[in-house]
Structures are given as C-alpha cells and as structure tokens.
Amino acid sequence: MVLESQVEVVWQPDNITADMTPPPLFERYCLPFYRQRGMDCSRAGKPYLVHMDGRLGPLKALIAQCPFDAVESFSLPEVGGDLSLSRPAGLAGQGHTPELPSPLCYENEQKIEMWLSQLLTEAGHERPFMLQVSEDIPIAEWQRVLPFWPG
C-alpha cells in the first residue's frame, strides 16, 4: 500500500545496532528483508531510509549489501557510535543522516562552529548527507543552536 501511495520516501524505523542485532542475526533476518524492501522501493521510485543509530562497525560489510538510500540517524562517536563519517568503510555507497549531539548544544558558538566545519569536511561530497537534530536538545538551546551554521 505504501509503495502505491503518494508518499515520497519510505522510512524503516528499525533502530539497528550491532549490540542487539549481531552480524549473524543481521545476515539471517535483516539482510533478506532489506534487500526485498529496497528492490520494491526502487521499482516504485521511492527512496528507502533505515534508522540505525547505534554501533554499526561489526555490521558495516552487511549494511553495504543493503539497497537502501540512507542510514538515518547514523550515530557518530560523540553519541556512542563506532564509525565516523570520514571512515564509514562499507557504508560509503549510502547517504548518512547523523544526529547533532545534544551535549554539543551546551557549548559556545566557536566550539559548535569547529565541530560543524569538521563534520562537513568528513562528510565530503561523495554521498548524500543531512544533519539531524536530536529530540534531547533542551528547548532553551533550540533557539540559540538551530539557526547556527558555519559561514
């Protein structure tokens, strides 16, 4: 039904991390599912994003075999992930939408600017990239941090 609907993007909110889904389980259960859904979405002309916000290092070779368009909520080392954007290894073909680490939002503008500049350099231009905002940012910091972007 989703593939025949007006939706523009298919989002799979699976919350994958190698801590809970080690490589043998990912290969047995997730990989076939993602392959089928990815082919279905591709035939329907709809981008396919999968939520993975944990430690993906042990899964990177298997994730690289998945036909989705982006790893949504990609966890950077600052929030407990084990891969950086400059070294995502097997994930290089997919886009990444990492989260802005909420503790960074308590820092001064100079530190935020340095972090964002480094992140943009690491992200490069080889694949799609979008920075997400965590729901953990206190409301008092949203107005100060969200409009901020290095010039």
What are the pLDDT digits (tens) for 5-44?
999 999 998 888 999 999 999 999 999 999 999 999 999 9
What are the pLDDT digits (tens) for 60-83?
899 989 988 888 887 888 888 888
- Check residue 79 and give its pLDDT: 82
For the chain, which residues make up each domain, given as ranges? 10-145
- Check residue 151 and give its pLDDT: 47
DSSP tag of 30? I
Token pair in block for residue 90:
């097997």
- Check residue 22 and give its pLDDT: 96
Exposure pattern of 114-126 as b/e (b: 16+ CB <10 Å)? ebbeebeebbeee
- Check residue 26 and give its pLDDT: 96
| CATH code assigned to 10-145 | 3.20.20.210
